[in-house]
Structure 1
Amino acid sequence: MTTLEIRDLQVSVETDTEHKEILRGVDLTINSGETHAIMGPNGSGKSTLAYAIAGHPKYTVTGGTITLDGEDVLAMGVDDRAHAGLFLAMQYPVEVPGVTVSNFLRTAKTSIDGEAPKLRTWVKDMKGAMEALRMDASFAERNVNEGFSGGEKKRHEILQMELLQPKIAVLDETDSGLDVDALKIVAEGVNRVKEATGLGVMLITHYTRILRYIQPDRVHVFINGRVAESGGPELADRLEAEGYDRYQTAPAV
């Protein structure tokens, strides 16, 4: 059992003129095999939470704790967080010119595991994961995210997750920019990894459509840098019907 525990997390971001407070005391616990959907309007702090967990240098933790199986995540460098089992699928994946997908993935796998995977096994695993994500074999020799469509970038993020096998995955709006077919394929990939490895998932999204394919155990509503409400899957249905207006003046809990 792996547990990601966040307690009273406070985070600010550096702008051109100031350090702006974004997260104002977030409490959240995610265990192996659980899917937690993080929902809320633009600017509510969802992506800030993702980047704070991953260790993005632009975001400063001013209070609170993040632990993974009792270990202090905030004391770890970015690489150490990945080695410990944390994974971030970015909302806007960056291009890496001159580095092919196959080289990138094998180098990442070697770094995470501490040794290079056996070539024959690696080729088989990568080919199988790509086929499951409906990715053409030629994709492996393209440069990372260079000239990729939005759907290709998001499939590549899930391909990374499937091959690196993290303990906890933070998926930052993985559904954005996907058509219905791509959404189903990406969701199938997340469910496949979760079933095979017991992955814990933090799924950040604006919309309920991906939750039709990835069933959340818990749904958390972010408003103004705090968790305004938590509940089961039915909370997402209520959000779709009612929106976020009723939270704007309600006190966070």
Structure 2
Amino acid sequence: MADLEIRDLKVAADDTELLHGVNLDLDQGRTIALMGPNGSGKSTLAYAIAGHPAYEITGGTMTWQGTGLNDLTPDERARLGVFLAMQYPVEVPGVSLTNFLRTALNAVSEDDVPIREFMTRLRSEMADLGVDESFLTRSVNEGFSGGEKKRFEILQAALLRPKLAVLDETDSGLDVDALKTVSEGVNRLQGPDLGILIITHYTRILRYIQPDEVHVMFEGRIVASGGPELADELEAKGYDDIRAMA
């Protein structure tokens, strides 16, 4: 039994079915990449795993370490160790980055983390990700560049130490230097206690983060699976062969 088991998952939004029976397994300690063209359902799967209320599960099951996810709220899933790095992080004016992170950390911890310990951990993780300490006085994502928003998503994961991290197009909008920094942050998180699902259009992030498996989604279904070489094939040939298979 895999830590994350998705079986025949069907998901709808606005009365339109977007996923048509997805099957996927992921264990802690492993990294898998989910690729596919725009509109194939990759982000829908990410939101369904995290429990976004706009996405209705109309069939199938999701379980995490034996616990069914279908009926759990997003915060209940977070307490189980499920984390989503969003493709389009939202701005939260008036909420300081520091207070946001400390509240989030305390919400998933058995006991409140003392402020001195929290600040030491926060500054250490910020330094590793190249996040300037001036961010400590800023509101969540307000005025952040695309790269800064993605760094902040990985900073959250570094502090919260989830068991399952779903990274939804973390590479989008990043220049080469920012991509390297974010990828290094993800690589530091890798280990036997974390399963990572990387969702991406392109192979460039996979040059820095080596997946154990690659799956390809098209029109709401996973239509191809393989090792890292599958990503190289997609880079060379594009998605035309995948469209033909589907």
Does TM-score exceed 0.5, indicating one fold?
yes
Looking at structure 2, the residues matched to 225 and 140 of structure 1 have their Cα atoms a distance apart, in angstroms, of 40
1:5-24 matched pairs, under 5 angstroms: 5-14=5-14, 19-24=15-20
User: How far does residue 33 in structure 1 lie from its aligned partner after superposition?
Assistant: 1.0
3-state SS, counterpart of residue 219 of structure 1: strand
Task: Name 2:245's counterpart in structure 1.
Answer: 250
3-state SS, counterpart of residue 249 of structure 1: helix
User: How far does residue 198 in structure 1 lie from its aligned partner after superposition?
Assistant: 2.8
Which of 130, 152, 155 is the matching residue for 2:151?
Answer: 155
- Aligned residue identity for 2:155: L
Which of 208, 219, 223 is the matching residue for 2:218?
Answer: 223
Looking at structure 2, the residues matched to 121 and 56 of structure 1 have their Cα atoms a distance apart, in angstroms, of 32
User: How far does residue 70 in structure 1 lie from its aligned partner after superposition?
Assistant: 0.8
Which of 56, 76, 79 is the matching residue for 1:80?
Answer: 76
1:127-142 matched pairs, under 5 angstroms: 127-142=123-138
Aligned sequence identity (%)? 61
- Aligned residue identity for 2:113: P
User: How far does residue 26 in structure 1 lie from its aligned partner after superposition?
Assistant: 0.5
Looking at structure 2, the residues matched to 210 and 33 of structure 1 have their Cα atoms a distance apart, in angstroms, of 19
User: How far does residue 54 in structure 1 lie from its aligned partner after superposition?
Assistant: 0.7
Looking at structure 2, the residues matched to 2 and 250 of structure 1 have their Cα atoms a distance apart, in angstroms, of 28
Q: Residue deviations 1:42-83, cap 9 Å, x none?
A: 000000000001111111111000000110111211110000
Q: Residue deviations 1:172-217, cap 9 Å, x none?
A: 000000001100110011110113x631100000000000000000
3-state SS, counterpart of residue 177 of structure 1: coil
Looking at structure 2, the residues matched to 198 and 55 of structure 1 have their Cα atoms a distance apart, in angstroms, of 22
Note if 1:25 corresponds to 2:24: no
3-state SS, counterpart of residue 163 of structure 1: helix
Deviates more, 1:240-249 or 1:166-175: 240-249
3-state SS, counterpart of residue 248 of structure 1: helix
Looking at structure 2, the residues matched to 232 and 122 of structure 1 have their Cα atoms a distance apart, in angstroms, of 39
8 A Cα contact 2:2 2:25, kept in partner: no
Task: Name 1:202's counterpart in structure 2.
Answer: 197
Which of 205, 216, 228 is the matching residue for 1:233?
Answer: 228
Q: Residue deviations 1:212-235, cap 9 Å, x none?
A: 000000000001111100000000
Q: How many residues align?
A: 246
In the alignment, structure 1 segments of 5+ residues that lack a partner are none
In the alignment, structure 2 segments of 5+ residues that lack a partner are none
RMSD: 1.2
Note if 1:181 corresponds to 2:177: yes
Looking at structure 1, the residues matched to 204 and 243 of structure 2 have their Cα atoms a distance apart, in angstroms, of 23
Q: Residue deviations 1:99-146, cap 9 Å, x none?
A: 111100000001111421022211111000000000111111100000
Which of 88, 108, 121 is the matching residue for 1:112?
Answer: 108
Q: Using a 3 Å threshold, how does the CA distance of structure 1 residues 155 and 118 change in structure 2: closer, same or farther?
A: same
Structure 1 stretches of 4+ with a deviation exceeding 6 A read none
- Aligned residue identity for 1:98: G
8 A Cα contact 1:11 1:22, kept in partner: yes
3-state SS, counterpart of residue 51 of structure 1: helix
User: How far does residue 2 in structure 1 lie from its aligned partner after superposition?
Assistant: 7.4
